[in-house]
Structure 1
Amino acid sequence: MGDPALSRRGFLAASTAAGLGMTALSGCGGDSDGGSSSGTTTIEWWNISTTQPTKDVWAALAKKFEARNPTVKVKIVQLENDAYKSKMTALIASGKLPDIFHTWGGGVLKQQVDAGLVEELGDRTKGWADGLLPVAKEPYLIDEKVYGIPFDIGMVGFWYNKALFEKAGVTTPPATWSGFLDAVRALKSENVTPLALAGKEKWPGMYYWAYLAMRVAGADAVQKAADEKDFTGPEFVEAGRKLKELSDLRPFQKGFLGAAYSTPTGQAATVGNGKAAMELMGQWAPVVEADAGKGLGDGLGFFPFPAVEGGRGAITEVFGGGGGHALRRGAPQAAVDFLKFFASAASDRELVKKTGVLPVVPAAESALTDPNLTSVQRQLKAATGFQLYLDQAYAPAVGQEVNDSVAALLAGSKSAEQVAESITKVAKEAQ
């Protein structure tokens, strides 16, 4: 889409970034703080909003900001999720970040902060940032200091095609893991593909393992494993076995291992075009389904990840996050002013109405009318635990290993035990 696909993915190698070309790297943090001989300050804004309508809505907001600030120009660089991460990896290595850049917070942002590349925003934003929803700000707090400003918050859950559920005789969204597997079997019996998955991009598969770990072990145990850098406990192995149990049913669309997320033949389009009954995805899913495919409109429903019988995790413990913006260290005041404008009640209402994000400004909640997004927000407010996307919560190398190992399990080349061991090995090495 997070793309509103503020979708969470681990960093790729810096060498990959070099292969993508360096066109978008030019000018980062260059003369943007010094302006030009004409007295105009140019701020460079990197984001991942490549899908519609978000791409145009964000561009229009930048134009509105420029109109209110005639001496400021906003240079927008929009990159698809994985390309963005690759190029950011190269920028971190170069020590030069854009004036304003997309962030999911967590361990990835901490790495950038530890490298001395990110502006601490507490004093520069206190007058207005204090009014934002506290849960939305959490991922951007590092050592109790503010390094990012949120524009979205949400959770991952199952988005489903009501008509296909009805066709298979699934009258109620499943609330338990065994009930979910029964629903998968019922859909397959009617020759309906139960699930769409972007196996090529790996991060969507991670969602399943992360949620199963939360449901089996509990959110606190997941946090403890991260702190102790040890995921070899029986609960984490059991999470992998549960995922293998699902995978053995062959629930995903044909060719899922080579499928992307937001392309015309990818995961979102497969659901949006009615060719699969479900996808496990964040709150941006309806917008991307409609952009990549036809979209389901009122025919789309939402339900939380089911509880695992006998597990210690509650169905009210949620997995997700949002999107935010950070500034490079030494960014000009115009960049701070843009963050304030973007986080205003008026801008947030526009984002909620037009792009499907959930409000981070309390005054913008009245703009939320979509019943599915209202359901997401209601479940977020009732959450008893919250876990940030693993490939953003953890150090980049660890997050990438989670994605890679789970992808290998889904491809049949790693066991549940090997997934837990591989993640633990990389976590200990990253100390």
Structure 2
Amino acid sequence: MTTHLSRRTLLGLAGAGAGAYLLSACSGDDKSSDPNAPQTINWWHIQNTDPLLPVWAAIANEYKTAHTNVTFDIQPLENEAFKAKLTTVTQAGDPPDLFQSWGGGVLKQQVDAGLVKDLTDDVKPWIGGLLPAAIEPYTIDGKIYGVPFDIGMVGFWYNKDLFTRAGITAVPTTWTGVLDAVRKLKAAGITPIALAGKDKWPAHFYWSYLAMRIGGKDALQKAVTDKNFDSPDLVAAGDRLKELVDLQPFQKGFLGASYSSPDGQAATMGNGGAAMELMGQWAPATQATSSTSKKGIGDKLGFFPFPAVDGGKGAATEVFGGGNGFAVGKNAPGATVDFLKFLLSADNQRTATKTGAVLPTVKEAASAITDPNAKTVADTLASYTGFQLYLDQAYAPALGSQINDSVAELIAGNKSPAQVVKDITQVAKTV
């Protein structure tokens, strides 16, 4: 997930590989209480491609220039590689100083294990400038353990020209309408939906949204509380997803496709190879950078929220999504929190927002949203009546991973909707 922010121009860093982003990773007395002692901040993030990769590097370089005793060791990692590597180092009790976080259940586990710093007092002077909804996933038992730089939601991004070619004159407002649109697109010889089947997390968006629309957001919360996902509403979510899968709407080879690879989900959309994808607010920027032209489909791209399900208890104003943020490791040098404050300054948030890859969490930076689709996302988010964090972040890691795995099995045709919820329930009972 990706989301996924600010772009500065590059300071000669654009186009370089990840190794070029090691900014003077010299060793020093990082843990000294002397604020002027040499400090190296080990920073891991998942903005490993344009437009954010050079932006983060430029912001770090700017901070380093102003604080000559501070250097950075920056490791940009692909989303799944990041999660795997972070799991390894946190299990060893040695988290990075500053690292990507989506909050929720994963962050809570890190808090319970004593791996991250309580930032409540450190951020108190400036956290009020951020949107309260954005801070929520990073607040555990009333204390703040992370700071978000991006907030948004998942919805359908679509190619207006391909919709027109298929004779679709209005975006779907119901799930039945989505299925009808898929049929029309297929009849016109157009691939309806791009999906990164290999990565699994993009597929869980479909099941999660259908669960919310059919049972309401509270159905998911009840399932976690009761440790039981085997309910009629959640089985029905799988049934409705299977209706889509049975139409064979995805691009050729989707089961082996990742999200941001040259032939993956984002590139398929950015090159005009599919009509829709269900993805977060970072989709336009990732489509563009993943496309052959590096520009995507431009003003041909539109957005519509995940529609209602006929007879469902959930409102179409309940949204599914989240933001991107950072947590601070337990042994991070003192400059880390100060750098985080700098990263979240209004100017840096505006820079990130102007790239189109970020919806800002700093209230003052909202004026930097200029893209019409981003404004639509922001307006939809502003009128939400319920918010559900991505399930693979909201829940304990084992449970979130099982949801991703089980939904992937359903989409591959290997598990029935009823078996999916049984498998998820089995893991829910153990966490």
CA contact (8 A) 1:32 1:44 kept: no
Contact 1:4–1:287 (CA<8 Å) still a contact in 2? no
* Counterpart for residue 70 of structure 1: 68
Number of aligned positions between the proteins: 410
* Cα distance between partner residues in 2 of 1:132 and 1:179: 37
Q: Distance in 2 between matches of 1:341 and 1:64?
A: 10
The answer (yes or no) to whether the contact 2:149–2:361 under 8 Å persists in 1 is: yes
Letter in 2 for 1:89: T
Q: Residues 3 and 51 of structure 1 are in contact (CA less than 8 Å); yes or no, is this contact kept in structure 2?
A: no
Structure 1 residue 316 and structure 2 residue 314: aligned?
no
Contact 2:150 2:325 in 1 (8 A): yes
1:128 and 1:220 map into 2 onto residues whose CA distance is 33
Is 2:332 aligned against 1:331? Answer: yes
- Please tell me whether the aligned partners of residues 199 and 260 of structure 1 are also in contact (alpha carbons under 8 angstroms): yes
Q: Identify the residue that residue 129 of structure 1 maps to in structure 2.
A: 127
Letter in 2 for 1:406: V
Measured against aligned partners, the alpha-carbon deviations of 1:63-117 in whole angstroms (never above 9, x if no partner) come to 1111221221122111111110001110111101011011000001111111111
In structure 2, the residue matched to 1:341 is 342
Q: After superposition, what is the alpha-carbon deviation per residue over 1:249-293, rounded to whole angstroms, capped at 9, x for unaligned?
A: 000001111111001100000011011000000000001101111
- For structure 2, which runs of at least 5 residues remain unmatched after alignment? 6-21
Query: Unpaired runs of 5+ in structure 1?
Result: 6-23
Deviations 1:185-228 (A, max 9, x none): 00000000000000001011100000000000001121111121
Match of 2:309, SS state, is coil
CA distance in 1, matches of 2:187, 2:63: 54
Cross-structure match for 1:257: 255
Quote the offset at 1:332 in angstroms.
2.2
Secondary structure of 1:243's aligned partner: helix
Structure 1 distance, partners of 2:316, 2:27, is: 44
After superposition, the Cα gap between the structure-2 partners of 1:291 and 1:123, relative to the gap in structure 1 and judged at 3 Å, is same
Contact in 2 for aligned 1:150/1:324 (Cα 8 Å): yes
Match of 2:13 in 1: none
Give matches, 1:287-298, under 5 Å.
Answer: 287-293=285-291, 294=293, 295-298=296-299
Q: Provide the residue aligned with 1:10 in structure 2.
A: none
2:244 is aligned to: 246
Distance 1:420 1:282 in 2: 25
Shift of 1:123: 0.5
Counterpart of 1:271 in 2: which secondary structure?
Answer: helix
Distance 2:198 2:27 in 1: 33
Q: Is contact 1:54–1:355 with CA below 8 Å preserved after alignment? A: no
Distance in 1 separating the partners of 2:27 and 2:313: 47
- Per-residue CA shift, 1:16-66, capped at 9, x if unaligned? xxxxxxxx9xx9999532499x94211111101111011001100111111
Aligned to 1:2: 2
CA contact (8 A) 2:204 2:403 kept: yes
Where do residues 402-421 of structure 1 align in structure 2 (5 Å cutoff)? 402-421=403-422
Alignment of 1:30-429 (within 5 A): 32-34=30-32, 39-293=37-291, 294=293, 295-429=296-430
For 2:417, give the aligned amino acid. Answer: A
SS of the residue corresponding to residue 326 of structure 2 reads strand
TM-score of the superposed pair, with normalisation by structure 1:
0.92
The letter of the residue matching 1:390 is L
Distance 1:96 1:168, change over 3 A: same
Given that 1:103 and 1:325 are in contact with CA atoms closer than 8 Å, whether structure 2 keeps it comes out as: yes
CA distance in 2, matches of 1:226, 1:379: 27
Contact 2:30 2:37 in 1 (8 A): no
Distance 1:177 1:325 in 2: 35
Alignment of 1:9-20 (within 5 A): none
1:4 Cα shift? 3.5
Q: Distance in 2 between matches of 1:347 and 1:357?
A: 11
Q: Give yes or no for contact 1:28–1:44 (8 Å, CA) kept in 2.
A: no
The offset of 1:423, in angstroms, is 0.6
Task: Report the equivalent of 1:8.
Answer: none
Identity of aligned residues (%): 59
Secondary structure at 2:211 match in 1: helix
CA contact (8 A) 1:105 1:140 kept: yes
CA distance in 1, matches of 2:220, 2:101: 22
**1:124 Cα deviation from its structure 2 partner:** 1.0
Distance in 2 (alpha carbons) for counterparts of 1:39 and 1:121? 22
Q: Matches of 1:225 and 1:28 in 2, distance apart?
A: 48
CA RMSD of aligned residues (A): 1.9
Structure-1 separation of matches of 2:221 and 2:343:
32
